[in-house]
Amino acid sequence: MNTASTLPGGLDEAEFLRAYATHALRKPQIVADNVLTGIFLTEVRYRGALTALLVQEAVEAARRLAAVWVALTDRTRPVARTLAGPLPGTDDWLRFAAAVEEAALAEQPAALLRAMAIDDSALESAEDLCAFTGLARFEVPLRVYEAGPPAATVLGSAPGTLLLSSTALPSTALAGAPVEARMSLSDEQIIALGDAAGDFSSWAGDFLGAYIEARGPAGAR
């Protein structure tokens, strides 16, 4: 199926998928790595603002991982067209997290690969994903960022707590309700957040990469 007319820049499917894997999926990790470095090099008074940016990149990495999952598990539309659309919201993330938890409890990470219809070349990433226990905890930051960048406030004395506040989108179950996310500004929490952004980006890249390799030059869906 030719989807060139509906893909950004007039790219064909193969071109778009390669660009998405190389740039869109890696961008949150690259930015998060640089923000993380900046947090520990700049003045303490800037830690809250920079950590808010780090959370934003981790949330994007999470949503792009969910996007790859949605695109690969539902082939009723071409994968490229799904990835070119809006990023998944919190509800899609929770369904993805539930599927991962089910595979982890059954000790069957390969079940994730079968659900995405990709081969065992990405098995290590599936195993690492199943071993990651914090997927559900990203529900709150995802909800906070769904409506755009939230207000950021630092509470308490050093290291303090980062408070991110926003209003839930009208289309969600919490329509119009205030939503908040809090996280410690301790070194450990900040490093863990940066690591999560990197993991999400890497896993998404491995899953999509396995699909791209399997397509071959023929470009099958």
- In whole angstroms, give the CA distance from residue 89 to residue 102: 20
Any domain includes 201: yes
Highest-pLDDT range among 97-111, 138-152, 162-176: 97-111
Domains identified in the chain, total number: 1
Any domain includes 160: yes
Among 102, 40, 100, smallest CA distance to 65 is for 100
Any domain includes 145: yes
Q: Residues 44-55: pLDDT tens digits?
A: 899 999 999 999
Among 109, 135, 114, 134, smallest CA distance to 124 is for 109
Any domain includes 221: no
Any domain includes 38: yes
Place of tokens 């329509």: 175
**17-21, 144-148, 207-211: lowest mean pLDDT where?**
144-148
Q: What is the 3-state secondary structure (H, E, C) of 87-140?
A: CCCHHHHHHHHHHHHHHHHCCCCHHHHHHHCCCHHHHHHHHHHHHCCCCHHHHH
Any domain includes 72: yes
pTM for this predicted structure: 0.92
Confidence band, pLDDT 50/70/90 cuts, at residue 220: very low
Residue 75 structural domain: 4-215
Asked if pLDDT for residue 39 goes beyond 90, the answer is yes
Any domain includes 107: yes
Confidence band, pLDDT 50/70/90 cuts, at residue 94: very high
Average of per-residue pLDDT values in the chain: 92
Q: How many CA atoms lie within 13 A of 172 on its CB side?
A: 21
Any domain includes 102: yes
Rounding to the nearest 10 degrees, give the CA dihedral for residues 197, 198, 199, 201: 80
| b/e burial code for range 165-200 (CB count within 10 A of at least 16 → b) | ebbbbeebeeeeeebebebebeeeebeebbebbbbb
